[in-house]
Each structure stands twice: as C-alpha cells, then as structure tokens.
Structure 1
Amino acid sequence: MVRHGAYVRENVIMLAGSTLGHASEAKNALLLPHAAAPHFAYVGDSILGHRVNLGAGTKLSNLGILSAKDAATGKRPTIKLVIEDREYDTGLTKFGAILGDDTQTGCNAVLNPGCIIGPRTLVYANTSLRKGYHPADSIIKLRQNVRAMGRE
C-alpha cells in the first residue's frame, strides 16, 4: 500500500501487504510481504525482509560521506563491506541496507551505507549503525548518558 504523501521513485517493488507511508521515500528498493516504512522513512537501494518495520524517521542511507567523484575519472568510490575481518567490494556506488525478516528499527535510526542486518534484530531509536554484518537475533542500541543540570 502506498499511503498519501509517500514518494515512490524508480525501481521499487512492493509485495503483498507492504506499506510506504506518509513522507516516506523509496528508490531502487524491494519490500517483501508486510514490510513497512510507514512514516518519514528513506529506503534507498535497499531490501526490507518479511514483516520488517521501520520506526518513524528511519533512514537507510545509500551514499557514503566520502563519496565525492574522483576529479580524474569522474567516478564515485564503491561501497565496501567488512565482514569477519574480510573486505568485500560490492561494486556499487550506492548501497543502502538489507534487513532480515522480522527486524525492527526504532524512531530516527540511521543505517549507514552497507548495513546487512540479520533476521529478528532490534535496532533501538536514535542509533547510527555502521556498515557491515550485524547478526540475527541481536539488540543494537546506543549507549549514552543523559544528565540534567541546573541553569546558573
């Protein structure tokens, strides 16, 4: 289902029961059955497994910060993944994320280019996840200390 205000760009395949909702955008994406990007999400060059749910504001970033075109060749660098200390070159200049079945993200999670997330994984809100493989059945969360101080 494509809801009001969603932006569907080129090469998007949405299978039965999948949802792209208000202010969400998809490009070069595959949403398997019942995958949902219901609010304010970006799904670029990515695959969402069965029953994946993206919390509001989740971004699947697809272009690395160091991706400027080479002045001599005019080409962008390809996305490389490191899995178990071995580097793999995807050959792609844009690569978002692959999320396994039943994975969920909390609000405003950011998955940097080249994230591969195993099934049944939870990515907590406000987490910025680095590229690479993150195993099935994981809980991934940001650890921070928030402290209230008096105003003087």
Structure 2
Amino acid sequence: MLSAPSFFDLSDFDHRAIFQDTVPAWDALKMLKSYMNGLDYGLFCHEHLQNGVPLACPLIVHNGKLQTAEGCAITFGDATKGKLRVVREDQELSGASVIMAGAVIMGSRILLGKGVLIESGALIKEPAVIGDCTEIRQGAYLRGYCLAGKRCVLGHATEVKHSIFLNDAKAGHFAYLGDSILGNEANLGAGTKFANLRFLPGNVSIKTPSGVLDSGLRKFGAILGDRVQTGCNSVTNPGTLLGKDSLLMPNTTAPSGYHSPKSMLR
C-alpha cells in the first residue's frame, strides 16, 4: 500500500533506481543525497559562468558542452513540448538546452538533459538534475538536491529543496516544496505549499489504516501519486500522502497521513 509502485509508474523514470526496494515510498527521500552525490555530473563550466553571479549572456548546452549563444537564433517555444529550438548558421542544434542571461548557478554539480530551458532570474544550487524538456522558469529557486524528470515545470517564484519530480510533474506558480515527491503528471495549483516541519520536536509520523508509523524523517513534506492535482492556495501538513488521481481542492489544508487513490479533499 505504501510502496513506491503504489504511488508511481516508474517504468519511464530515468532515476527509478532511487525507489528500488523502498517500502515505504518516503525512504527514497532518505536516499536522495547519497544517490545524487554518486552521480557523474561531468564538466559544467564556462568562462562566462561564474559561481553565484548572474549570467551576463545566454549559454547553450549542446552535446554535453557549454557554449555561448552568439550567432544563434533561439525560438522560445514550450520546452515541455519539445518546442525549444536553437539554430546556428542555418543548422539546428538538436537537443540544445538554453540558460538565459540573468540566471544564477551556484556550484558545478548540475546535470541538464536535452531541450531544457532555464529562464532569467532562476537560481539553482548544486546538486541539481534537470531532465529532458524541463522548464525552470523566472524566479524559481532550487535550493539543492532537486531531481527533476522529463517535461517538468519548476515555475515562477517556486522554491524547491530536497525533492523529486517524476516525469511531467508541474509546480508552475508560487509553490513551496521541501522534502517531497511529485508523481507523474502531478500538477500544483498556484500558491500550493507543502509544510515539511512539525512545530514540536521529533520525526514526522504518518497515519495509515494499519496504524501510525514513524517516518524516520525530521523534515517530510508530501508525496503526491501520479496525476494528483492540487487547487490554488492549498496546503499539505507534514507527512501527507495522496494516492494516485486524488484531488486537493482550492483553499484546502490536507490532513497529514495516507489518503487512498482517487480521494477528494475539500
């Protein structure tokens, strides 16, 4: 009931190894740091990319190499639909990713997939893994240990730390996610907040049909299964687990604990 496959289809997730043998599913959060620390990030460096300094000119990443966008024509289509295009001297640079001027990168352990767009004003701290065709929008703040799959959106004024986005997960507007997991096609309404720390000392406890479980986590936000949706200005209490296809209605606070698939919280 609380295993990762009960929340997520992992068949197309490039980092499904982090969920291997995780029962309960939140054990993936305990493994996140060691997993990301063990990845090969290659050489993410360029003379125009200064640690913690806003980028003065746009850069592109093509075939694993950072280079300036000088002489390139960029079409800023919807990256999540594969419509970001980079052309240089009439030749399309297939799969090129774009880091716009004004973005801030802190550290070198950054892994970008193909067709990624990082907009001006985004701040990304290492380590971060950004999957193919993902958008990091203006004002997004990635505070470290952020792992995003394919076609995700980490949106305007959204803060994310120590969290996992499965494919097509979207937090487009004014959200906070800490120590949390979003399933495939999960979508957060504007202003959704995941509280991740109890007022009282101790680990976050999880209420389940079989009893209360100690998560073993001092900080634990929420787990949203595949296709879960939250309404605008909704909030989850620490240790909230929403099963597949559940709905959290606008202006609603979700009680902590396990909620079965197709639940509607209002």
Taking the TM superposition and a 5 Å limit, the aligned residue runs for 1:67-86 are 67=201, 77-84=202-209, 86=211
Amino acid across the alignment from 1:134:
H
Task: Note the alpha carbon deviations across 1:17-61, whole angstroms, 9 max, x for none.
Answer: 011100001000000011000000001000000000000000011
Higher helix content, 1 or 2: 2
Distance (whole Å) between structure 2 residues aligned to residue 127 and residue 65 of structure 1: 20
In structure 2, C-alpha distance between the alignment counterparts of 1:99 and 1:120, rounded to whole Å: 9
Distance 1:5 1:131 in 2: 29
- 2:159 counterpart of 1:25: yes
Distance 1:51 1:41 in 2: 16
**Alignment gaps of 5+ in structure 2:** 1-134
- 1:120 pairs with one of 229, 245, 252: 245
Higher relative CO (Cα under 8 Å, sequence separation at least 6) belongs to: 1
Q: How many angstroms does 1:102 deviate by?
A: 0.3
Deviations along 1:96-120, one digit per CA (max 9) or x if unpaired, are 0000000000001000100010000
The structure having more radius of gyration, on CA atoms, is 2
Alpha-carbon distance between aligned partners in 1 of 2:227 and 2:210, rounded to the nearest angstrom: 27
User: d(CA) in 1 for partners of 2:199 and 2:156?
Assistant: 27
SS at match of 2:172: strand
When the two structures are superposed, what TM-score results if normalisation uses the length of structure 1? 0.85
Letter of the 1:25 counterpart: E
Shift of 1:65: 2.2
For residues 125-136 of structure 1, what are the structure 2 equivalents within 5 Å? Answer: 125-136=250-261
Deviation at 1:140, TM superposition (A): 1.0
Q: SS where residue 38 of structure 1 aligns?
A: strand
Q: Residues of 2 paired with 1:8 and 1:51: CA distance?
A: 20
Unaligned runs of 5+ in 1: 68-76, 142-152
Q: Distance in 2 between matches of 1:95 and 1:128?
A: 16
Is 1:53 aligned with 2:178?
no
Q: Deviations over 1:108-150 (max 9, x none)?
A: 1000100010000111001111110011011111xxxxxxxxx
Give the equivalent residue in structure 1 for 2:197.
63
**RMSD of aligned alpha carbons:** 0.8
Instruction: Give aligned pairs, total.
Output: 132
Cα distance in 1 for partners of 2:263, 2:205 equals 23
Q: Which residue number in structure 1 is paired with residue 264 of structure 2?
A: 139
One-letter identity of the residue aligned with 1:34? D
Question: Runs of at least 4 residues of structure 1 off by over 3 A?
Answer: none
| Aligned position for 2:138 | 4
Q: CA deviation at 1:66?
A: 2.1
Task: Please report how far the alpha carbon of residue 64 of structure 1 lies from its aligned counterpart in structure 2 after TM superposition.
Answer: 1.2
